[in-house]
Structure 1
Amino acid sequence: MADPAPRRRDRPDGSKAAAGRTRRPTERRGPLRWWRRRGIRARLVLTSAAALALALFGLARLFAFAVGHSMLATLDSSTRRSASDVVTLINANRLPDPILTAGGTMTIQVVDPTGRIRAASPGADRLVPLLDAHTLAAARRDGRARFLDGRGYGMPAVLRVVALPADDGETVIAATSFEQVQDGLKTVSRILVIGAPILLVLLGTAGWLVIGGALRPITELRRGAEEISGTARSRRLPVPEARDEVHDLAVTLNDMLHRLERAEARQRALVSDTAHELRSPLASIRAQLEVALDHPDGQRWSETAAGVLADTLRLSRLADDLLVLARLDEHGVRPAAREAVDLAALARAAGERHPAARVPVTVDAGEPVIVHGDVKGLTRLLDNLVDNAMRHAATGVRVRVARAGRRAELCVCDDGPGIPPADRERVFARFTRLDEGRSRDEGGAGLGLAIVRETARAHGGDAHLEDASPGLRAVVRLPLRGPAR
């Protein structure tokens, strides 16, 4: 009989749930995720400790091999020297029996061509040679030392055996116990097994302390950044004494903080000056409307409307100027649009826009002078300079456009009272008026020259004021048209 279908259980919300439980996908918790959660200090120490452990392991193996090879070579040399001394005695017919060795640690047998033992050292077997005939013949030919199991001869388990030929076909067999080499290797291994972990722990601890000291300036930078709040003024991050990458980072961050403070101060000044400029026209509009509403019968509504319109136009001009400055600040050192613009044509058009002005506007612009930039922005720059010059000129305004090397030069001159040299740079600041007592309607909000300089810099140039004797000359230099970027 087939198994019944799995029953479903009712969930608390009324839906059906299968009898088999569906597992949620769990986040993988592997070594990589564990490693990523470690700090820089821990990762550096662990990495260096792992590399050091591998290096110590390799060096320990190499050292143990070198020590073992050296001890084995010394043992073979001693055994071969003892056998060579016996060979010398045989060749001189002065072979004693038994053969005495220094210290009594060497086992020596002298085997004749028939395989019989002619002489031996005390304690050596006198019946059975240590090497069989085949091995003995091979040992005579190559002279190499060999390992031999000595347990069958009542000797230590491992022997090192050398066979050297002598006169009359005799062979000298010298054997030495390998235990001293084994004991030496065990001692070296024991020292390495105990010393390597201790050295690894010491070096790891030293690395932890050194890396911690190297990262301490970064910790101080973080703490310094935490102490700088939104209302803090002129706060700087601590700069470490070491001339390293962290020092460069701290200097760069402090420079950034300085720029941010300047931008914040500039923004606060702009907001404050804007609010101050808005108060006067708004107060004027409010006063005119309140008077008109309080005395409607004796009010000349056309004059009130004209006054309100004048203040509204003033607010509109202020809003336009602020919008231009905001766009210049947004685009930074590049204008919003880049196209070929003829400054000479713009200057002629600016002169034609003032046919019935208080003073005449003369334009000296011959051949085309092409620059890359924004037509609207450059037109506003020209209008601001011409309007500013017309307000202060006594008899006329002159506009000149020419080439000056690899730059285009725009000059707007007036014959007015001019500006003292100490104030010629200050007037380019926003909301700057040299004569605070003059009419705001006549002088504007003090943003005209600020817009001129910001526009010139956005086009890769600059603007400044010069003495025209008499009057003042505003000079704007822009790079001539090059390959479009």
Structure 2
Amino acid sequence: MNARGLTRRWHRLTLRGRLILIGSVGVAAGLALGGLILVRTLEFTLQRNLDEGAVGTARDVAGLVHAGRLSDPIPVGGGVSFVQVVDGRGRVTAASAGADRLVPMLGPGNLTSVRSGARLTVDGEQLGITGAVRVVGEPLPGGRTVLVAVSERGTAESIGVVKGTLLVAFPILVGLLAAVAWRVVGWTLAPVETLRRGAAEITGTSSARRLPVPAGNDEVHRLAVTLNDMLERLESTRRRQRAFVADAAHELRSPLASMRTQLEVAVRLDTPAPGAGSQPELLTDLLTDLNRLADLTNDLLLLARADEGALPPPAERVDVAALAKELAGRYAGARVPVQVEAPEARWVRGTPGALRQLIANLADNAVRHATTQVRVAVEDPGEGVLITVTDDGPGIAPADRERVFGRFTRLDDARARDDGGSGLGLAIVRELARLHGGTVTLADAGPGVRAEVRLPAADRV
């Protein structure tokens, strides 16, 4: 199977299956490596013990030769198979019972190697023994050598038993560990499956539901808490969008209905009905409604761009004191006088159009509800730039001073749909202040309300 086929099969496995497969392969590789080390260590140990026993027998026989007490046949024990004493010409001078007395167990080349201390493994058939034979030598004076042969059959059988045991035990052990790991991983992933089922049950109409949070303080618990927080934010955004759409539709319906009614009257009647107003008055009313509709559309577009983060960032130094003075002429014919106090230039980093609209929205709101006058001031309190717009109207209760920044929010005693306000002015002011890194708050002016906008001052050049 090619690599692509293996990749497809791998991706078809569940997470549980992948974890078990990886774990089983890792355990099998570890056991195989451990088994190999064990077998090699056992082979080395048994071989060393076998050599030490043979060398000990060879030295004992050499001691008997030195003492002149070597009997014939040579006595052997401790698992030694054969012993020969060979002279310098390769002739057998003494041997143990059963050993060949005519032919030495090693040829001339191997005999020379053994005399120099080498330990050889030879085929046991030449000695009449099944399996391999380990041969060691002990040199004697006069060129003689004591040769000791020990069968490796017992060692090979022991190693074979260990190998067979490992080959049978390791697969069983890997299978048992895989079965246990399957249950443990399944138990560990059970909360994840619960989260998946809970997420599958959440739809667009039931988004208020939340995912089950497992007990504990592990990664799955924190994941469930994070997902529920995300769902709460999404639901909050969804509620705001629904309210925004409903309020926008309601606001748009009023000027559209007014325009439709006036146009129907103009179409049905060649001459205005008594009390219906003259043609110029009709056009004036239509133009007023159109302006109101255009302003509302522009406000909705600005808020939508603010929600998407699409408003242009502050990019230039702007003198807000100069902007406030420019706006003073706009209110020359307002219902109450507007006084601007901005004696010195106050620089901030921003967008002129956005800052102009910020001040204008506050001034429009103040003019709409002031009793005798409105005061606009731009000053430097020591930390940034402070813009204040104060009116002497009915004021706003402390409990409502945060609520009025909501979109389409009007207070019953001071905000009416028919007075020209859309309920978006203060919401736009907050978004524009936030865009410029500032804040906006409302305070008591005793009587009236004072709107305070704090903006960071621009760096001096």
Into which bin does the TM-score normalised by the smaller protein fall?
0.7 to 0.9
Instruction: After TM superposition, give the deviation of residue 182 of structure 1 in Å.
Output: 1.2
Q: 1:325 aligns with which of 303, 310, 329?
A: 303
Q: 1:471 aligns with which of 438, 448, 451?
A: 448
Instruction: After TM superposition, give the deviation of residue 278 of structure 1 in Å.
Output: 3.7
> Mapping of 1:65-464 within 5 angstroms?
65-102=40-77, 105-142=80-117, 144-167=118-141, 169-286=143-260, 293=268, 297-298=273-274, 299-302=276-279, 303-331=281-309, 335=312, 338-435=315-412, 439-442=416-419, 444-464=421-441
- Measured against aligned partners, the alpha-carbon deviations of 1:390-412 in whole angstroms (never above 9, x if no partner) come to 22333322212233445222111
Instruction: After TM superposition, give the deviation of residue 105 of structure 1 in Å.
Output: 4.3
- Measured against aligned partners, the alpha-carbon deviations of 1:120-148 in whole angstroms (never above 9, x if no partner) come to 22111122221234432331222x32112
Counterparts of 1:328 and 1:157, CA distance in 2: 90
Counterparts of 1:190 and 1:413, CA distance in 2: 96
Which residue of 1 is the match for residue 24 of structure 2?
A: 49
TM-score where L is the length of structure 2? 0.88
Q: Secondary structure at the match of 2:244?
A: helix
Instruction: After TM superposition, give the deviation of residue 447 of structure 1 in Å.
Output: 1.4
Which segment is superposed worse, 86-95 or 109-118? Answer: 109-118
Counterparts of 1:63 and 1:426, CA distance in 2: 77
Q: Secondary structure at the match of 1:275?
A: helix
- Measured against aligned partners, the alpha-carbon deviations of 1:20-47 in whole angstroms (never above 9, x if no partner) come to xxxxxxx996433443444433333333
Instruction: After TM superposition, give the deviation of residue 74 of structure 1 in Å.
Output: 1.1
Instruction: After TM superposition, give the deviation of residue 430 of structure 1 in Å.
Output: 1.4
Q: Is the 8 A contact 1:328 1:335 kept in 2?
A: no
* Paired amino acid for 1:469: G
Q: 1:58 to 1:439 in 2, by over 3 A?
A: closer
Which residue of 2 is the match for residue 14 of structure 1?
A: none
Instruction: After TM superposition, give the deviation of residue 306 of structure 1 in Å.
Output: 4.3
Q: 1:72 to 1:284 in 2, by over 3 A?
A: same
Q: 1:290 to 1:138 in 2, by over 3 A?
A: closer
Instruction: After TM superposition, give the deviation of residue 113 of structure 1 in Å.
Output: 4.0
Counterparts of 2:322 and 2:184, CA distance in 1: 69
Q: Is the 8 A contact 1:335 1:459 kept in 2?
A: no
- Measured against aligned partners, the alpha-carbon deviations of 1:149-182 in whole angstroms (never above 9, x if no partner) come to 2212322331101111245554221111111111
Q: Secondary structure at the match of 2:209?
A: coil
Counterparts of 2:449 and 2:131, CA distance in 1: 113
Counterparts of 1:444 and 1:231, CA distance in 2: 34
* Paired amino acid for 1:234: A
Q: 1:335 to 1:213 in 2, by over 3 A?
A: farther
Counterparts of 2:364 and 2:105, CA distance in 1: 122
Counterparts of 1:237 and 1:342, CA distance in 2: 51
Q: Secondary structure at the match of 1:410?
A: strand
Counterparts of 2:415 and 2:318, CA distance in 1: 36
The runs of 5 or more residues in structure 1 that have no matched partner are 1-26
Q: Secondary structure at the match of 1:76?
A: helix
Q: Is the 8 A contact 2:214 2:220 kept in 1?
A: yes
Instruction: After TM superposition, give the deviation of residue 82 of structure 1 in Å.
Output: 1.7
Which residue of 2 is the match for residue 10 of structure 1?
A: none
Counterparts of 1:350 and 1:289, CA distance in 2: 35
Which segment is superposed worse, 454-463 or 352-361? Answer: 352-361
Q: Is the 8 A contact 1:106 1:176 kept in 2?
A: yes
Percent same amino acid among aligned pairs? 49
TM-score where L is the length of structure 1? 0.84
Q: Secondary structure at the match of 2:297?
A: helix
Counterparts of 1:457 and 1:437, CA distance in 2: 26
Q: 1:114 to 1:305 in 2, by over 3 A?
A: closer
* Paired amino acid for 2:424: L
Q: Is the 8 A contact 1:390 1:414 kept in 2?
A: yes
The runs of 5 or more residues in structure 2 that have no matched partner are none
Q: Is the 8 A contact 2:215 2:221 kept in 1?
A: yes
Q: 1:313 to 1:103 in 2, by over 3 A?
A: closer
How many residue pairs were aligned? 455
